[in-house]
Amino acid sequence: MNEFMQILKKGKEKLKQSDITTFSLDAELIMGYVTGESRERMLAGLVNEISDDNADRFLDLIDRRASKYPVQYITNYQEFMSLPFYVDERVLIPRPDTEILIENVIKCCKNKKNIVLLDICTGSGCIAISIAKYMEDISIIAVDISNDSLMVATYNADINNVLDKITFIQSDLFESLAKDYMNVFDIIVSNPPYIERGEIPKLSREVKDFEPRLALDGGNSGLDFYRKITKESGMYLKNNGKIFYEIGYNQGNAVKNILVENGFRDIEITKDLAGLDRCVVGELE
């Protein structure tokens, strides 16, 4: 076995011993990050050597991953909707389940012109950026309370070449939106914090210890943000405008009721590939 593969194997063994279920993939991703080599070349046995500096750096990062630090934060990379996204501790790591929300929005907007969309709690920008990338005739406002998140989102919009289609605004939900935005939006979309506060200590270490609590904590019931956003959304949506939410697996009926109480109709709940509630959409009466 060549030197490169020996170091890679050592990293995999360390992660396996640390109960990292994706030990093999994570070690390969970290090695690729350190050396610039592709997984394909590694797995094909086309890489034989590694410098001492890179070997030391790789093993240091393996130790960090062994402590449950997310591999996405180590590599500063997460693919989402087949697009590249930079991520670090300032933002929640985009999850594949959120792609369902985006697909629903795109489907709703098919064949429509001059769409104006508001993305609330944009975080890394993955929702706004993906929609901007896959829809031509759209203008997007993306807001987040965290200026740190907006710095990441702006960078991601730049690397995905959609910066001209998105305006980023630091705002606590609707708070900093000018009156000019009232009754302007065809669609509001949000993946807000929705974890019940008491459940956060039960989450995996990767999530509870390293991802931003601000992006997780939905209050005691997990529904705080749905209530706040829905209550104010009527002032910003056009007549017959729609609101799209990502939700927790057990929140479908509760969020549906919040929408009904605030004048929304034709409410639909979409399930994910596991058969769990994942998205809710409603139309303003």
Kindly list the distances between the CA atom of residue 24 and the CA atoms of 10, 53, 64, 95, in Å, as whole numbers in the listed order.
Answer: 11, 22, 15, 20
Rounded to 5 degrees, φ, ψ at 73 are: -75, -30
pLDDT tens track for 100-112: 999 999 999 988 9
User: pLDDT tens across 118-172, in order?
Assistant: 999 999 999 999 999 999 999 999 999 999 999 999 999 999 999 999 999 999 9
Q: What is the mean pLDDT of the chain?
A: 96
pLDDT band at 28 (very low <50, low <70, confident <90, very high): very high
Top-tier CATH class for 94-284 = alpha beta
Task: Round to whole Å and give the CA distance between 78 and 74.
Answer: 11
Round to whole Å and give the CA distance between 261 and 269.
Answer: 16
For residue 280, give both structure tokens.
């809710």
For position 1, what pLDDT does the model report? 55
The domain locations on the chain are: 3-67, 94-284
- 109 neighbors 138 (Cβ within 8 angstroms): yes
pLDDT digits (tens, 9 = 90+) for 186-222: 999 999 999 999 999 999 999 999 999 999 999 999 9
pLDDT of residue 110: 87
**pTM attached to this predicted model:** 0.95
Q: In this structure, are residues 168 and 122 in contact, taking their beta carbons and an 8 Å threshold? A: yes
State the pLDDT confidence band at 178, using cuts at 50, 70 and 90.
Answer: confident
Rounded distance, CA 123 to CA 175, Å? 17
Phi, psi of 198 (to 5 degrees): -70, -15
Other residues' Cβ atoms within 10 Å of the Cβ of residue 236: 21
